[in-house]
Amino acid sequence: MKPLPQRSVVIVGGGMAAGLLARQLVHQGIDTVVLERGGDHRAEAAGRIPTQRDELRWDIRLGLMQDAASETYTLRRSRPEPSRPMRRLSAFLPGTGVGGAGSHWNGQVWRWAACNMALRSHFTARYGQDAIPADMPLQDWGVSHEELEPYYDLFEKLFGVTGRAGNIRGKIMPGGNPFEAPRQNEYPQPPLETTEAGLIFKATAEREFGYRPFPSPGANSTGTYVNPDGMRLGACQYCGHCDRFICEANAKGTPDALLYPWLERQAHFELRRHCQVLGLDYDRAAGRVRGVRYLDLITGEEYLQPGGVVVLAAFTMTNTKLLLTGGIGRPYDPVKGEGVVGKNFCYQINSGISIFLRDRWLNPFLAAGCTSTIMEEFDDDNFDHTGLGFLGGGSIGVGVISGRPINARRLPPGTPRWGTAWKRANAEWYAHNCAIGVQGSCYPHRENYLDLDPDYSDAFGLPLVRMNFDIRENERRVSAFCTGRAEQIARAMGATQLGPVVPRTSPFDTRLYQGTHITGGTCMGADPATSVVSPRLQHWDSENLFVVGASVFAHNSGLNPTGPLAALALRLGDDIARYVKNPGHLS
């Protein structure tokens, strides 16, 4: 193993959190290096941009995703059963390459409701001490919405986020999210065009039920845009190739388009590609991480990169794995309910109802990642939970994001699976269908956690991360309730036919894509007994080690996690700049 010269800050992972964190550090002249295991898909595609609308390559064969043949995960739904490896990643899709999962995302950007930052205190105050079940280890994050709001605002400006504000400095604004926490400014760009399906959903929800749908905010640019760093976006072409694709029009805000090209022009920054991180060099006696061990996948050489500060900013599973393999922090023990590393692992509980409208022409191919119309009446604690038997909720909406020919084949119940009748049904219904989707929250459960699998390892000889996870009773009730509300709206939309109404339930099925919104494992909080990192994301057991990303979330909401992830990453950049100048425990 070859030692390298020390750097001020070493960041593991080259995705969204790492790029935003590095941006703040470099702006303040802090020497920073980022270690990314993949290559640069955007650079490799230069000169071949028309090939990006290749559904087989990118959507079906998952060209931007982690290779399960090298590294995957195992699953067991309860401790008595054996774990089994996921031979193909389907339920969720970690990215590989510069930009990480932020390169293949749809671009949906949300500010979580303010109650999420102190959820345990919120539910206790509203519903009483007994409202939270004993097997649900909810905890406060130790940070407030007011602290994060300036960083939400900065992220939206950096990524040219589109939308319509619902609450500006306490004033409710027409057409936006009426449940939104107060914000200082309107979105940098106006929202995308509303789809025909979105118009039908909105009119029905307002007229029949009095709900207040609004256009989804997102990082799909409605026009040409220049961000505060001088990075440019083009206008969205509504081509329906956002999720799992590189944007041909340079209209999707991604880290590889807006962060890393700017960073690599700065004197204090280095991005090293094809660096597979193997572990952390941890001095337990001193309570410090001395550096990061990694394998250069091009040369085959192993290196030690020392760092004054080390930051884990990778995917949820990777952040947790590096702490567990490095023996940094106490692994979670579900039997005793003690320990912290791996606890509070959460997913999201999603469902949908297909809607077939024979007399409405919906043109699903005229879409983008954020051409969604959403309502928040049944998310978080926006409604009274008294007597319902569950906590949490979900966002409900119509999200027409693609009409791609291979996967966009929503057909009425009873359609044959092949043959002439199948072809006829495809032609008949292609432009006449949509779906109402529910994106449900997932709160922690004592038996949902991450640890290291004792039997399976990856291509580098390291143990695989084991998901101990199933959909528990609280989340089954959330899904049943929210899917029922979605069904009421679907029937009122005048559907010719509806698809099956099936709330999400157990057992958890890894064969079905359910979203890459995976959180927990390295929770933040004010108490070292229940959290891995402090509210400043500083590891309790290692002063110079920080962790950022969705892994620090103590639960998962009914909205995409990128907004709070980005705000925390930008804030951490400012905090680490303070630490570099004056090391110690941050407050």
Question: What tokens were used for 557?
Answer: 């909401």
CA atoms of 317 and 320, how far apart (whole Å) = 5
- Coil, strand, or helix at residue 377? coil
Of 258, 253, 300, 309, the residue nearest 276 (C-alpha) = 300
Residue 586: partners with Cβ closer than 8 Å, 6 or more residues away: 534, 536, 538, 575, 578, 579
Of 411, 456, 495, the residue nearest 204 (C-alpha) = 495
What does the buried/exposed string (b/e) look like for 393-422 if buried means 16 or more CB atoms within 10 Å of the residue's CB? bbbbbbbbbbbbeeebebbbeeeeeeeeee
372-375/394-399 β-pairing? antiparallel
CA atoms of 468 and 490, how far apart (whole Å) = 35
Q: Which run of H or E residues covers position 265?
A: none
Instruction: Tell me the Cα Rg of the chain.
Output: 23
CA atoms of 264 and 279, how far apart (whole Å) = 25
CA atoms of 226 and 233, how far apart (whole Å) = 7
CA atoms of 23 and 86, how far apart (whole Å) = 35
Using CB atoms within 10 A of its CB, is residue 365 exposed (0-12), middle (13-18) or buried (19+)? middle
522 DSSP β-pair partners? none
What does the buried/exposed string (b/e) look like for 155-175 if buried means 16 or more CB atoms within 10 Å of the residue's CB? bbbbbbbbbbbbbeeeeebee
- Coil, strand, or helix at residue 114? helix
Sheet harboring 73-76: ordered strands across? 84-85, 73-76, 463-468, 449-457
Cα–Cα distances (Å) from 40 to 36, 46, 64, 271, 287, in that order, read 10, 10, 10, 11, 35
Q: What is the DSSP string of 172-218?
A: E-TTS-TTPPPBSS--SBPPPPPPHHHHHHHHHIIIII----EEPPB
- Torsion 414-416-421-427 (CA) sign: positive
Candidates 104, 241, 268, 517; catalytic one: 517
Cα–Cα distances (Å) from 229 to 150, 159, 225, 388, in that order, read 17, 10, 11, 48
Q: Please confirm, yes or no, whether 122 is among the known catalytic residues.
A: no
Residue 190: partners with Cβ closer than 8 Å, 6 or more residues away: 162, 163, 164, 222
Question: What tokens were used for 192?
Answer: 């995308």
- Coil, strand, or helix at residue 115? helix
Query: How many C-beta neighbours within 10 Å does residue 318 have?
Result: 22
Active site residues: 517
